């Protein structure tokens, strides 16, 4: 049961109505209350049908009076029933208004909804949310059936999953549950909330429950949430699995529909579920007194709605949890709040004669934890789909809320009036300034100060005359083309000659296309614009006037700019006086969404109040962060990531973030010491299980080490290992993006830009960018057309080379080049930053129908696969040269398989298939010889080790060699390996060896072409493009110097 249902039960029907209206506004982006109400009427209260009506543009706009918009704010309306009112809860009377049909339809719909709620304890809103949970769980189960390992599959090495020192514990994504992780981590890091959950004791009369399905859900969910919080406190694991809590959320609701809902609803409903659980406990513990619910005390506040309707005033109180704010059209959080606190048009609420209608909201009680829900999704009716709002919205680390408090409403109104007056004056000043900065009456306008300067330069210029014919110099036509006896000056003096008169003779008509001979030559022209006739006195007066006017304009412009700056500063400091900074709220958590409206990923930035730093909680990954990173990812406008929920806490309520102390010693309690005894035992048991995992892994490694020691007859060099991760800095397991790969292109882009600047120094950023792109494309085209030696593969240097050689569509190449010059690595200086912005703007202008983005992603995925295949090949060959054949084999197997898939799309998509096949085959032959030698030794341990090599490495690989009958060398190699082991059948040997050979040979000889799954691909080191090219060249050069039989 929600707070409104607990406290405002008489307004339950209107509360549901308003909830539906809010959801419709959120989903469709339509703000007209009349349209939304009509849609609800037409759909008989069915939310999904209402959305369908609105999105299909079938909603009818009723011709209602202006007052209808404000009817929800009228005294007596259920939405604003005062807290504690005693209206009859069993009667829903919405038919007294003159809009009978509309209100009756809503009443009947809500009555039916409430009837279902009374029977099941589940609201329609909760059932809708369950659809997403079911989809989430279904996705998780489906992922278990997939052949290939997912990003979130656990590493087989438990040390990869071990918590490092006191690093915060992450949450595993169990199938589209990143929203759950972000919300839970934000709440867990509120120490007061953590204490409430950990110390929650189920009611003593729990055996008498449930009274309905809703109560049946609360206690099991609280139990799992306690366990989850306890693991986050004391687990030795790097991350823990929240599946059981999510399963309970899913099991609480049953629905066949899978419609996606807004993620912010989960935060709201999660608090509702917790509130319900604590309410059961609170009602049990009260002794005749009014029960207090700690969730209500922590997360819910009250505001006063003060309104005017046709000159009549009203005031009503309402409770709130998450406070919704619109993002579109606002630049910062205060602007959003100012707009949310005023609805309609209010001229002056304290004026007795006001005829305007509207209402203001004033906070009367702020919760210790204040959550703002940022509306970043709206429905695009033109496109028929939801869209995300990527606009930039700034918010401060400290938010002062004094201006929104009811106790300050009089002074706030005065300040708002003053700000309104200043903004009006500011508009006038900006218009005046614009006339100075954009002077002229034509389509092109210039700063007036520049116009005067140009006029001054023109007036001061001295004319230097020359003829246009003489000015051509050596580039003019031959002298025979000009009449010898005529010069431009004499023509001017004598006037038109007979040669200037057109003649009808063919000869003269043949010369008509020679402009300098047949056209009237203009008078002497100056080499640059300059006055023709001006006296020294006139020039002196004019220069004096222009100098004076320019100075006056400069002074006027500067005064206007200073005045505008002063007004901006005055507005900024309007609420900075001491009386208006008494209610500080500190930013505690920012929940971020990256992606589009229909898909994306969620994570959270949470402030560590004791270490005074920001932390990034991204599912299993918990890493240090900065305010700068938070700004970039949360404000919006930078990429597809932006905040959708802000959690502020009262900066004066230190108990929210205060550590617990031992009452006897006074020392701070940390870790397991903060847990109740039952949870402490639960965490200890889980830690024991994890320690057992570590011991079993150590034992397994020790056994493998012993086996490798026995196999040490073949010397091996130490395997190259990836760069170590710094302690305390967990890494996030995700596939590198094109941006990560493209960082090396910065130098190439800068060189192209510098060349373009050298060629077109005086051109704008767009022209320079176009030239730079052409230069870069020419360079890459030249590389693609060259025929380099094997050690120099230009495809590794740039994706464009790969695309050109494989005949990628022109649009793919063009967009890739734009992305290169629009990459944020170019934002290090002003010139490159301007070009980067132009490239980004052009990328945004590309329409969906102009390029197939699925095809675009496929090309780039193929290129990433090509680089990955190159690394498998390179590392495998390095191990081979070090005679580490077992390690080399696994890399070469994956190199061959990936390369074969690439080559199926085109001959230049991958590497030399014969090269990879040769070294894969050589690894198998050498390992087979080694295993045979171990078997021939007769020693039990060595025999077993030899058979392990055959069963775990050789036999699983044989189908890979037999699958392609065209590879004759592979088939011969398989037969050689089989013959080697079959040769032992005619030899005398110990009975135990004979028995082992008999058991093994059927596996070797009956090897079908069915390819069995291997373990996960080996981990690849992280190479920059320069390192990759260098190491690839080195290994290929060494191969060319080393003879390889059969290749």
- Catalytic sites, residue numbers: 178, 593, 601
CA angle 724, 725, 729 (to 5 degrees): 165
Q: Give the Å distances, CA to CA, from 31 to 8, 54, 202.
A: 26, 12, 44
Q: How far is CA 254 from the centre of its chain?
A: 32
| Sign of the alpha-carbon torsion through 632, 636, 642, 646 | positive
Q: Which residues contact 989 (CB under 8 A, 6 or more apart)?
A: 938, 997
C-alpha 215/C-alpha 209 separation (Å) is 7
Q: Which residues contact 589 (CB under 8 A, 6 or more apart)?
A: 185, 186, 189, 604, 605, 606, 607, 645, 646, 647
Q: Which residues contact 141 (CB under 8 A, 6 or more apart)?
A: 175
CB 646 within 8 A of CB 395: yes
CA angle 877, 878, 883 (to 5 degrees): 90
Count CA atoms within 13 Å of residue 398 on its CB side: 9
Angle between helical axes of 12-28 and 33-42 (0-180°, round to 10): 110
- DSSP letters, 29-45, are ----HHHHHHHHHHTTT
Bridge-partner residues for 358, per DSSP?
308, 344
CB 398 within 8 A of CB 651: yes
C-alpha 72/C-alpha 13 separation (Å) is 12
For 199-322, where are the alpha helices, taking DSSP H only? 213-234, 243-251, 264-285, 294-299
Q: Say how many Å lie between the first and final Cα of the chain, rounded.
A: 75
Angle between helical axes of 853-881 and 913-937 (0-180°, round to 10): 40
CB 644 within 8 A of CB 374: yes
Characterize 185-208 residue by residue with b for buried, 16 or more Cβ atoms within 10 angstroms of its Cβ, and e for exposed: bbbbbbbbbbbbbbebebbeeeee
Count CA atoms within 13 Å of residue 210 on its CB side: 15
C-alpha 770/C-alpha 776 separation (Å) is 10
């Amino acid at each position: 049961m929600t707070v409104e249902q607990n406290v405002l039960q008489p307004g339950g029907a209107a509360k549901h109505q308003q909830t539906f209206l809010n959801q419709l506004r959120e989903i469709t982006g339509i703000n007209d209350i009349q349209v939304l109400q009509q849609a609800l009427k037409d759909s008989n209260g069915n939310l999904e049908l209402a959305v369908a009506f609105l999105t299909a543009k079938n909603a009818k706009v009723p011709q209602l009076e202006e007052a209808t918009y404000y009817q929800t704010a009228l005294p007596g309306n259920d939405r604003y029933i005062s807290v504690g009112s005693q209206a009859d809860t069993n009667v829903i009377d919405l038919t007294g208004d003159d809009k009978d049909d509309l209100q009756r339809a809503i009443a009947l719909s809500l009555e039916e909804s409430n009837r279902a709620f009374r029977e099941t304890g589940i609201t329609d809103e909760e059932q809708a949310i369950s659809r997403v949970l079911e989809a989430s769980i279904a996705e998780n189960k489906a992922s278990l059936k997939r052949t290939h390992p997912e990003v979130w599959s656990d590493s087989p090495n438990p040390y990869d999953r071990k918590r490092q020192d006191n690093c915060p514990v992450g949450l595993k994504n169990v199938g589209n549950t990143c929203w759950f992780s972000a919300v839970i981590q934000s709440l867990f890091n509120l120490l007061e909330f953590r204490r409430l959950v950990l110390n929650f004791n189920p009611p003593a009369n729990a055996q008498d429950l449930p009274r309905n399905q809703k109560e049946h859900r609360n206690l099991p969910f609280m139990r799992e949430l306690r366990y989850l919080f306890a693991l986050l406190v004391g687990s030795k694991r790097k991350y823990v699995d929240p599946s059981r809590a999510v399963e309970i959320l899913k099991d609480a609701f049953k629905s066949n529909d899978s419609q996606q809902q807004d993620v912010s609803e989960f935060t709201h409903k999660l608090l509702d579920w917790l509130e319900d659980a604590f309410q059961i406990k609170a009602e049990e513990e009260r002794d005749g007194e009014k029960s207090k619910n700690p969730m209500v005390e922590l997360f819910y506040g009250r505001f006063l709605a003060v309104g005017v309707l046709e000159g009549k005033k009203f005031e009503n109180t309402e409770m709130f949890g998450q406070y919704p704010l619109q993002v579109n059209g606002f630049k910062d959080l205060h602007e959003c709040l100012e707009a949310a606190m005023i609805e309609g048009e209010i001229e002056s609420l304290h004026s007795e004669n006001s005829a305007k209608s509207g209402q203001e909201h004033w906070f009367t009680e702020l919760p210790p934890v204040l959550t703002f829900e940022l509306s970043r999704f709206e429905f695009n009716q033109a496109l028929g789909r939801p869209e995300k709002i990527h606009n930039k919205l700034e918010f401060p680390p400290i938010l002062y809320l004094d201006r929104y408090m009811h106790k300050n409403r009089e002074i706030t109104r005065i300040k708002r009036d003053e700000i309104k007056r200043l903004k009006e004056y500011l508009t006038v000043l900006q218009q005046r300034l614009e006339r100075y900065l954009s002077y002229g009456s034509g389509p092109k306008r210039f700063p007036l100060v520049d116009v005067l300067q140009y006029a001054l330069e023109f007036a001061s210029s001295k004319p230097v005359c020359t003829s246009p014919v003489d000015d051509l110099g050596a580039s003019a036509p031959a002298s025979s083309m000009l009449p010898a006896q005529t010069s431009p000056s004499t023509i001017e003096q004598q006037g038109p000659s007979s040669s200037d008169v057109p003649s009808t003779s063919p000869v003269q008509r043949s010369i008509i296309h020679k402009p300098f001979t047949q056209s009237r030559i203009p008078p002497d022209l100056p080499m640059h614009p300059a006055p023709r006739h001006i006296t020294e006195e006139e020039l002196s007066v004019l220069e004096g006037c222009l100098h004076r006017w320019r100075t006056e304009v400069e002074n006027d412009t500067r005064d206007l700019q200073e005045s505008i700056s002063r007004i901006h500063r005055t507005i900024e400091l309007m609420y900075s006086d001491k009386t208006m900074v008494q209610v500080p709220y500190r930013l505690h958590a920012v929940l971020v969404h990256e992606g589009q409206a229909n898909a994306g990923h969620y994570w959270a930035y949470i402030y560590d109040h004791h270490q005074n730093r920001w932390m990034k909680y991204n599912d299993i990954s918990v890493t240090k962060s900065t305010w700068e990173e938070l700004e970039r990812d949360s404000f919006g406008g930078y990429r597809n990531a932006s905040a959708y929920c802000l959690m502020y806490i009262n900066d004066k309520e230190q108990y929210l973030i205060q550590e617990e102390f031992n009452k006897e010693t006074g020392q701070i309690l940390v870790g397991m010491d903060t847990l109740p005894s039952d949870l402490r035992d639960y965490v200890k048991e889980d830690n024991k299980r994890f320690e057992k995992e570590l011991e079993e892994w150590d034992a397994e490694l020790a056994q493998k080490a012993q086996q490798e020691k026995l196999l040490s007859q073949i010397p091996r060099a130490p395997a190259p290992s990836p760069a170590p991760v710094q302690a305390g800095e967990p890494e996030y397991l995700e596939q590198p993006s094109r941006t990560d790969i493209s960082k090396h292109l910065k130098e190439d882009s800068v060189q192209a830009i510098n060349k373009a600047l050298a060629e077109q120094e005086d051109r704008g950023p767009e022209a320079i960018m176009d030239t730079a792109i052409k230069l870069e494309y020419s360079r890459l085209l030249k590389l693609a057309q060259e025929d380099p030696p094997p050690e120099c593969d230009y495809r590794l240097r740039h994706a464009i080379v790969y695309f050109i050689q494989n005949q990628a569509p022109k649009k793919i190449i063009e967009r890739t080049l734009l992305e290169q010059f629009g990459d944020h690595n170019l934002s290090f200086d002003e010139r490159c930053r301007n070009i980067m912005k132009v490239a980004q703007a052009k990328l945004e202008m590309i329409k969906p129908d102009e390029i197939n983005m699925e095809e675009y992603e496929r090309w780039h995925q193929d290129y990433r696969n090509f680089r990955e295949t190159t690394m498998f090949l390179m590392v495998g060959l390095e191990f081979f040269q070090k005679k580490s054949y077992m390690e080399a084999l696994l890399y070469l197997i994956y190199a061959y398989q990936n390369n074969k898939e690439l080559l199926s799309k085109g001959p230049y998509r991958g590497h030399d298939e014969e090269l990879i096949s040769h070294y894969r085959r050589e690894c198998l032959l050498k390992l087979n010889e080694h295993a045979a030698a171990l078997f021939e030794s007769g020693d039990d341990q060595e025999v077993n080790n030899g058979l392990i090599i055959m069963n775990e490495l050789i036999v699983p690989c044989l189908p890979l060699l037999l699958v392609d009958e065209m590879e004759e060398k592979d088939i011969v190699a398989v037969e050689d390996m089989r013959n080697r082991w079959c040769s032992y059948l005619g030899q005398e040997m110990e009975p135990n060896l004979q028995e082992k050979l008999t058991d093994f040979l059927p596996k070797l000889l009956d090897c079908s072409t069915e390819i069995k799954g291997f373990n996960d691909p080996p981990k690849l080191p992280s190479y920059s493009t320069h390192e990759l090219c260098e190491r690839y060249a080195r290994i290929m050069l060494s191969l060319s110097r080393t003879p390889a039989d059969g290749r």
